[in-house]
Amino acid sequence: MITLSKCALVASVSDLEAIKSALSLPVLALDESKTGSTVGEILQGKFKSGEIIPENLIIFHGITSKELDAALISLRSAGISSLKAVSTPTNMGWTVAALYKELCRERNSFKAKEAKKK
């Protein structure tokens, strides 16, 4: 049984098994039957249907900075690209779909700033 006090919540269209292999954490797969739930609800085992997340998204929960660094290195070494987040008091109340949209907005903002520098 998965321990949701320390885990990775993973939405993945095609790389789920590779992500599981790369991480030394329990992994809970987030398909559309769970993405309408908040991060906090998922950690409590409560699931609501939502939308399909069209790319890899990994939400780390309950891990130390050292464990996060190791996970990121492992993912990079495995060639796995994904949006990543760490659970926070704020995003615990967000649905997975809302968190995904916010991460996309942040990525686009970052890319726009980088493009202006060039």
pLDDT in tens, 86-105: 999 999 999 999 999 999 99
Q: Over pLDDT 70: what percentage of the chain?
A: 97
Residue 6: Cβ within 10 Å count: 14
Q: How far is CA 118 from the centre of its chain?
A: 30
pTM, two decimal places: 0.92
The secondary structure of residue 80, as a DSSP letter, is -
Residue 17 pLDDT: 94
| Alpha-carbon gap, residue 36 to 95, rounded angstroms | 6
pLDDT in tens, 69-88: 999 999 999 999 999 999 99
The residue ranges of every structural domain in the chain are: 7-117
